[in-house]
Chains A and B, each alone.
Chain A
Amino acid sequence: MSSESNVDSIGQALAAATAAVATAGDADSLRRIANEYSGKQSALVAIKSSLGAMTDVEARKVAGRAVNAALQTLDAVVAERLVALERAAAGHAAASEAMDLTEHLARRSRGHAHIVTQAWERLEDVFVGMGFKVAEGPEVETDFNNFTALNMPPNHPARSNFDTLFVKYGEPGSTLLRTHTSPVQIRVMQEWDLPIYAVMPGRVFRRDTPDATHMPVFHQIEGLVVDKGITFAHLAGTIEAFTKAFFGSEFTSRLRPSYFPFTEPSAEFDVRSANGKWVELGGCGMVHPNVLQAGGIDPEVYTGFAFGFGIDRMAKERHEVADLRDMYANDLRFVRQF
């Protein structure tokens, strides 16, 4: 045989094999076809075996390279076909188990935290970031902690500003539902080490008929700082830092004189947004020396400031709730909006 005829027959065998591979419909038939065209009985292998008989060394080398190349090409074609077949099979399997994911979108999922809780935690986080700890106290309190220790001894006229709910427990008038979170200040001063940087969120109670802006049960957060060298400027600075951290850097704050029995000098604090409108937010002031004393702290050594405001209002304004009562109706249609 001439080398030319060998090369021709190699090309023909490869062409036939490639055509056969293309007809393979699955992995099994592909394996069969591959065996048929590259196995021991195949034309290519037969050509390869016959090369030994060739006397022309150069021609034998050329033919040998050609048959090896053809066998490699055939392997590659088979491998390619196998990948294509697997892909197609996977595609079939996927098509048979199709899912509509949107069917599952509406499944029940996580519950919704109360918007007061959400506001409460956001406030705590801002103050924690400013170096405050969080203090708590009981909701049923003594008259002493709620009033007397806060510079409002029995019959103090300012007591009438708080519509107090009294609990039948012990001496009449000795136990009440705290009207503000301030009694926690007394507990913190008595129990904690100095200096104190604390906020006191909590539930408070007033004998108020519910309406769009008042609830008998609501929530406040107070802050208390007692340290050496604390001045009124620290109060104003802390309120300002809080205002910017909580509401945004475009907000600013101001203090204006007011009256609370437990602070002196006392102030109301207002915040103003970029739109220029001042909104009254809460009360604050330097802790009254009598209150420091009730807390077991020497007012000649320590000074402090305190501030407080409503948590419910923060939630109400953030979510534009028209009526506070909606926040306490526990209606899932409302609760699930937030």
Chain B
Amino acid sequence: MRIVRSWLEEFADLRRWSDDELAVAITSLGLSVEATEMVGTPVDGVVVAKVLRTERHADAAKVHRVWVDAGDGVERHVWCGAFNMQVGDLVPLATLGTKMPDGRDILKRGILGIDSEGMLCSGAELGVASDASGILILPANAKLGRNVFEALGMQRDIVFDLDVTRNRPDCTGHLGVARDVAAHFGVKFTPPKGGGAKPGSARKVAVKIVDEQACARFNVTVMSGIVVGDSPDYLARRIIAAGMRPINNAVDASNLVMLETNQPNHAYDATKVASGFRIRLAMAGERLVTLDGVDRALDSADLLICDGNDRAIGIAGIMGGQDTEISGSTTEIALETAWFAPDGIRLTSQRLALRTEASARFERGVDPHGVAHSVARFAAILRESCPKLVVHAGASDPKTKHLPKSATISLRVAQVNRVLGTALNVRQVSTLLTRIGFVCAPKKIAVKKGSLVADGAGLSVKVPSWRPDCTDEIDLVEEVARHVGYDSLGKQVSQSTQPGGLSPLQQRRRALRDVVLSFGASEAMPNPFLAPGDHERAGVGAGVGVGGPVLTLENPLVAEESVLRHSLRPGMLRAVAFNVAHRAAHISLFELGHVYPAHHGVDANVPHNLPDEHEQLCIMMVGADAATAINWWSQITAVFGVGAQVDQNRVPAGYHATRSATLARGKQVVGYVGELDRLVLAAHGIEERVACLEVNASVLLGETPKVPVAKPVSRFPSSDFDLAFAAPTRITAAVLQRALRQAAGALGEEVSLFDVFRKTTGDDTRSLAFAVRLRASDRTLTETEVASTRAACIAAGVKLGCTLRGS
């Protein structure tokens, strides 16, 4: 909202405060000043000159020659395309070398070989008036040679560009801003007077509100004695400064009323709407060509203004139709000033993608009781250019029961103080609210049972009709806070009465990330939205915890981002592929993020039931094999004390058939480990091996690890021996190791695999060598004990089908 300083000053005396002070004050009231702009800046070199004589040139039809005197006694000759000046008139002369507001330089230019020594200017060219059709004729008393801006008494002006929040419809008009600012500075607020126009005979236009909810008030006032023309220059300048365009005096008056009071209105040529008005919802298939020339298809939720014959002539509160506009010959107007339900205007405006100055105001809520004032202001403004204006009596002004009524709110001063930390009394609160139009009366308010607000001293506060945002006590507390000033409310650190800290899960998440970073993997954050087919391309089958179909978005930005991931793999593959394509070295990435598997085992139709979202970890390293991946897992389990069965018989979808495993805990799948399938990698343009680990991080982080209980360290020596078995491929190292550990029994301190040897050709066995360390806590083991344990271990291996090597 562009707020013009001089306009504000019509309603409050703000001369004492500089532009900066004013901007700071307006911002401190919650009307954020986004920019401050200077307008009406004088143009150097444009001076008052007198027309001495004019002369047509036989060969120039569109221009004539004008000789002027700029007070320095030098007669200057200029070519001029406008013919509206008389000899003796005073006109603005842009002398040679002047830089015009539009950036043009005034240079000596010739027509038909005769030079022009400057340029005569229109009001529009100087930015001081709306008229561009002729040269600006200056007041006869202007001093020759004086700068035109000084001669006109032009003043520089300031425009504050405000970001008005949705709850302050009153501040999309100068009046509302002025009221707030005046209260802030404690100066008198003087709203403008309306009227002054001649009252006329009764002229009633029939109005029928069909949809009483969408349109709760519709005033039509007829005015005559209108001569359509330009607005007075100062009003035109105001419209320009406020960011609109002057059209003619009647349309300008309409806009000026809106920019002042926030009440949009619409002036029709009265002869074209003589049949009356009907306000109703659009019918299916109905269309209307709006003022902007667009033929619009309407919806049955759109509110229409129709004439008495039910012909649509405008979309209510948004934009009028083309054929009832005021023309140059209009002498009588029917002025519509209405209240439309904000939601309806907002929805239609959104649906049609048509946001206008009017719709923006109606959808925030205009003053339901400001109609009379707004009509009077229209008349007062239009009368400046139409002295014979007549306002006819007998205006139609139907109101429905849906017209909002002003609320009366009980305000407990103790509640104000409890929320704001202030020590205000009833009188102080009353003063603050009264200044901005609230009507306050002292009131003893009943104390609610159990409430900490134990003092009932307060006010009965009648909310002004232009503040539809104030409906509850807390809204009034905010008004008090704004006018006390947020800065005056103090800063006090709230002392938490609780110990702060991360939850065990959050601490474990940080530890997990730390461990993964130590693997050399860097953190990626791929887009969680996927294209249809991305999961399949990444080889993700029925993923970790996935039962049903994927979740999709109702309203994706693009189809390529319409699927919610139930696996991190597609996004990670894309990130890896990107870096492969850019020939990055040592590509290793990880993501720790949420996945959203579609429901499984829950009824999606039960309200407030949410999908099975959980946190997932995915690590990938290019050029690394499955050994690397399983090593990540073993390090993670070491840190987190959470194990899982590494089941190579369950090949995860999208993984290498013989170099992968499912991580399972009983029936629960907690992750996948190994190398990714070559075809999956090829589909992403990756030729090297990729080691990958995917783990359900929610499971991993959700476990509370057992606190280890200290065991005393044995003071007795260990007995060590190595056993190398030729083990068939079907016997995994883990199975053999577990068998040896069991065989070693209570004496077995450690059984560790230290060597694997495969013959390059031939049989399907490989050598697995284990180091076995035995120890007792209370004695040195005897040779007999060691020998029998060793024999038990060998027997265990043999029982699995392995043979002891080198024996």
Contacts and interface: CB of A to CB of B under 8 A. Distances in A.
Contacts of B594: 138-139, 203
B501 A128 contact: yes
B552 interface: yes
B419 A166 contact: no
Contact of A111 (B475, B500, B521, B613): B521
A92 interface: no
A289 B613 contact: no
Interface in B491-527: 491-503, 506, 510, 513, 516-527
Given A111-B521, A170-B604, A142 B610 contact: yes
A132 B343 CA distance: 40
Which A-B residue pairs are the 10 nearest by beta carbons? A131-B496, A257-B30, A231-B421, A259-B165, A300-B451, A234-B494, A330-B575, A166-B554, A265-B478, A233-B421
Contacts of A173: 554
Contacts of B746: none
Contact of A256 (B27, B475, B517, B555): B27
A140 interface: yes
A167 B564 contact: yes
Interface string A197-211: 100000100011100
Nearest to A202: B594
Contact of B350 (A158, A160, A169, A303): A160
B523 A234 contact: no
Contact of B419 (A208, A209, A231, A256): A231
B166 interface: yes
A100 B342 CA distance: 77
Interface in A187-240: 195, 197, 203, 207-209, 216-217, 225, 227-234, 236-240
B16 interface: no
Interface in A227-264: 227-234, 236-241, 254-259, 264
A139 B596 contact: yes
A301 B564 CA distance: 42
A329 B419 CA distance: 45
A158 B166 contact: yes
Contacts of A327: 525
A183 B298 CA distance: 37
Contacts of A236: 486, 489-492
Nearest to A176: B554
A267 B420 CA distance: 13
B599 interface: yes
B15 interface: no
Nearest to A336: B522
Contacts of B165: 258-259
B477 interface: yes
Contacts of A254: 486-487
Chain A CB count within 10 A is highest, among B420, B493, B521, B606, for: B493
Given A157-B346, A169-B598, A303-B419, 15 more contacts: A109-B520, A111-B588, A121-B510, A134-B506, A140-B551, A140-B611, A141-B610, A170-B605, A197-B497, A208-B557, A209-B557, A233-B491, A233-B492, A257-B29, A330-B575
Nearest to B499: A131
B168 A259 contact: yes
Nearest to A144: B608
Interface stretch (A17-25, A70-78, A112-120): A112-120
5 contacts: A111-B521, A131-B496, A237-B490, A256-B28, A257-B481
A333 B491 CA distance: 44
A175 B604 CA distance: 10
A277 interface: no
B609 interface: yes
Nearest to B502: A134
Contacts of B490: 233, 236-237
Contact of B523 (A117, A289, A333): A117
B611 A230 contact: no
Contacts of A329: 578
Nearest to B497: A195
B732 interface: no
Interface in B124-173: 165-168
A289 B453 CA distance: 14
Nearest to A113: B523
A167 B551 contact: yes
Given A232-B421, A258-B32, A140 B613 contact: yes
Nearest to A143: B608
A103 B421 CA distance: 65
A298 interface: yes
A217 B499 CA distance: 32
A207 B562 CA distance: 11
A267 B494 contact: no
A265 B473 CA distance: 11
A286 interface: yes
B489 A233 contact: yes
A197 B500 CA distance: 8
Given A234-B421, A257-B481, A332-B579, A207 B555 contact: yes
A300 B498 contact: no
Contact of B477 (A114, A203, A264): A264
Contacts of A140: 551, 564, 596, 610-611, 613
B553 interface: yes
A267 B513 CA distance: 36
Interface string B585-602: 011111001101011000
Contacts of A110: 517-518, 520
A328 interface: yes
B294 interface: no
B608 A257 contact: no
A129 interface: yes
B387 interface: no
B712 interface: no
A257 B350 contact: no
B527 A328 contact: yes
Contacts of A169: 551, 598-599, 604, 610-611
